[in-house]
Amino acid sequence: MSKAFDFVQGEILLIDKPLTWTSFDVVGKIRNSLRIKKIKVGHAGTLDPLASGLLIVCTGKLTKSVDLYMAEEKEYTGTITLGATTPSFDLETEVDQTFEINHITDEIIHATCQQFIGEIAQVSPSYSALRIDGERAYHKARRGEEVKIKSRNITISEFEITQIRMPEIDFRVVCSKGTYIRSLANDFGKALHSGAYLSALRRTRSGSFNVADAWELPHLIDEISLQRINWTEKTNIE
């Protein structure tokens, strides 16, 4: 995957974001590795720390294209755990309620998926990066404050169950910009007359970009280090 980079003119870097890293952690790591003054680095679509997979990072003049990439449809795979809920709709917080799952059959699970295909109204998690009165919603939620978020329309073009091993079900979903898979998991549990939370998530595609073509972050950092001397001499801006 080795190539000659031109980070000032602009690069589109496909990163396989590791678990526990924030999207900003990845951007910061790349920016610090470049050691080029005043170069712009930004990502096109946040991934939660508990999610892995494709993160698009743009540098230099191509940071102007970030909004275009963010607007493209996304594909995810992951796992939903049935029979319980958490305040964050994922593993960031502890289980707060448990529910019955004995009534849930494979047929009901597959049929319920169909309810979510198309344009639907979705409420984002209170533990999210949305700004409420100028502050990130998750800051308010972590302080125990009530967070009121209006629903918004999103589009689910594909939603399929790939494996069932109760209480866990594996899925694949293709969706529009602004979709919260954590909210989808929570709503899916409600539709099953039970509860559910997202227990694993991986972004596999964004627009035409696929995680199969992405860099492992340590390998990219090594490649940047190897090329640093060459493009420092070329740009003469360090």
Q: pLDDT tens digits for 118-136?
A: 999 998 876 666 666 666 6
* Residue labelled with tokens 């607007």: 71
Is residue 128 assigned to a domain?
A: yes
- Of residues 150 and 108, the one with the higher pLDDT is 108
Catalytic positions:
48
Number of domains observed in the structure of the chain = 2
| Mean pLDDT (whole number) for 217-237 | 73
Residues 216 and 196 in one domain: no
Residues 45 and 124 in one domain: no
Residues 81 and 157 in one domain: yes
Indicate whether 189 pLDDT > 90: yes
Q: Is the overall model pTM greater than 0.85, yes or no?
A: yes
Domain holding 146, by residue range, is 74-206
Residues 137 and 226 in one domain: no
Indicate whether 138 pLDDT > 70: no
Q: State the Cα–Cα distance between residues 198 and 56, nearest whole angstrom.
A: 23
Residues 185 and 147 in one domain: yes
Q: State the Cα–Cα distance between residues 151 and 111, nearest whole angstrom.
A: 24
Indicate whether 233 pLDDT > 60: no
Give the model confidence (pLDDT) of 192-225 as tens digits.
999 999 999 999 999 999 999 999 999 999 988 8
| Cβ pair 75, 203 in contact under 8 A | yes
Indicate whether 237 pLDDT > 70: no
DSSP assignment of the chain equals: ------TTT--EEEEEEPTT--HHHHHHHHHHHH--TT--EEESS---TTEEEEEEEEEGGGGGGHHHHHTS-EEEEEEEEESEE-TTSSTTS---EE---TT--HHHHHHHHGGGSEEEEEPPPSSSS-EETTEEHHHHHHTT-------EEEEEEEEEEEEEETTEEEEEEEE-TT--HHHHHHHHHHHTTS-EEEEEEEEEEETTEEGGGPEEHHHHHHHHHHHHHHHHHHH---
Residues 129 and 180 in one domain: yes
Is residue 4 assigned to a domain?
A: no
Residues 167 and 227 in one domain: no
Please give the share of the chain, as a percent, with pLDDT higher than 70. Answer: 84
When mean pLDDT is compared across 1-5, 46-50, 56-60, 64-68, the lowest value belongs to 1-5
Q: State the Cα–Cα distance between residues 197 and 238, nearest whole angstrom.
A: 47
